[in-house]
Amino acid sequence: MDSNSLFYSLELVAGSGNTLNVEKRTALQTSLVILKKNYKFHRVLFWGKILGLKEDYFIAQGRGEDEMKDKKTLYSFNCMDWMLLAPATDSVIEEVSKTAKGSFVGDPSYVYEHVEIHRPGGRDDAIQEEVVTKVNEESRLAVTVHQIDEEASVVPRGAYLKSPHGLVQINRSFGGLSHSEAGKLDNFLHFSKAKNLKKKSILEMGDLNPAIDFLDVLSDDIPKGEDFCTYFK
């Protein structure tokens, strides 16, 4: 949700019960403007809320000149004071996948531990070594936001443009999809680094517009169609 249209966007999702009280809305409306100025973001988005046992995490994202590369994630407990999250590197993602289980606690300093027993000499070796992996909840929060963005961040085709120099920006002339276009999965794209484009044939690539077709389409997701039904039987 763009901070410039936050009130309107929150009303659109209020019908499902996912909304914020007046206090939190007012705090966000003020703090996101300050956040944009302090970090020199081009725009700020309210990403959402992750529930914790003690406290809930409110998430915001700032975007720079490049919508995909110049992205920073921040969290807050009160929608006023924001803390920057470190990027989710491959090593941190691996540590979190091993260690963090269950619900979020709501304390960024909370430490998750995972113990593995290693036998240097093989399975029959009597000598055992304990390998302890530790990760704090702040790292888990960064990984969770990153993975949700990778898997579930979706944009309509044409909403973003990629320049010949690789710069990804909002398409200011995009007016939305028509009713018929909105009914096709081919017109919705994953807003994350493309993984399937290199797998397409030369013939398929010839039908693409490099300025707008630089992301993976949802219709290429696996499982799909009948395969999806079979997968869950």
Secondary structure of residue 173 in the 3-state scheme: coil
3-class SS of residue 37: helix
pLDDT at 112: 95
Taking only the tens place, the pLDDT of each residue in 68-124 is: 999 999 999 999 999 999 999 999 999 999 999 999 999 999 999 998 877 666 666
pLDDT of residue 11: 80
pLDDT tens string 201-232: 666 666 788 899 999 999 888 776 544 343 33
Spatial distance between the Cα atoms of 57 and 108, rounded to a whole number of angstroms = 9
Residues 166, 191, 52, 116, CA torsion sign: negative
Q: How far apart are CA 150 and CA 11, in angstroms?
A: 26
Long-range contacts made by residues 36-39, C-beta under 8 angstroms, separation at least 24? 36/3, 36/62, 39/72
- Give this prediction's pTM: 0.85
